[in-house]
Amino acid sequence: MRSQLRSLESHFIVCGFGRFAKPVTEEFAHKKLPFCVIEKNAGAEPHLADLGYLFLIDDATTDEALQAAGIERAQCVLALLPSDADNLYVTVAAKALNPRLRVIARAADEGGERKLLRGARRSW
């Protein structure tokens, strides 16, 4: 799996595999867009494998997980974790590792949305 991840270019990194990520990944797969999923819950591994998705069972808030997913070669990261704080951390870490990266992040409320926008717009 890690060797396949190393071959990805201009791909999407989907952080989390919950109710927001599942329809996104279905659409990516349908359109044959290159993507990988970073999911912390090891219980999701059989389902991700059955779907044929590239994935990492890891914590998307860590630089190591983002780097293993090829953040420096990615075109976009989708921070779809349940916690606004985790999505903010992914946003800031991803932009620090790849300033050209497009970030799409989920926010539970307007306060979280404002913070995510500030994190995504910050100049590196």
pLDDT tens digits, 64-90: 999 999 999 999 999 999 999 999 999
Domain span at residue 10? 2-121
d(CA 77, CA 96): 12
pLDDT tens digits, 16-67: 999 999 999 999 999 999 999 999 999 999 999 999 999 999 999 999 999 9
d(CA 50, CA 88): 30
Q: Is the pLDDT of residue 99 over 80?
A: yes
Q: Is the pLDDT of residue 9 over 60?
A: yes
What's the whole-number mean pLDDT along residues 91-100? 93
Residue 45 one-letter amino acid: E
**Number of Cβ atoms within 10 Å of the Cβ of 6:** 11
- Average pLDDT along the chain: 91
Using CA atoms of 6, 85, 100, 80 in order, give the dihedral in degrees to the nearest 10: 60
CATH number of the domain encompassing residue 80: 3.40.50.720
pLDDT of residue 124: 45
Number of domains in the chain: 1
pLDDT of residue 111: 65
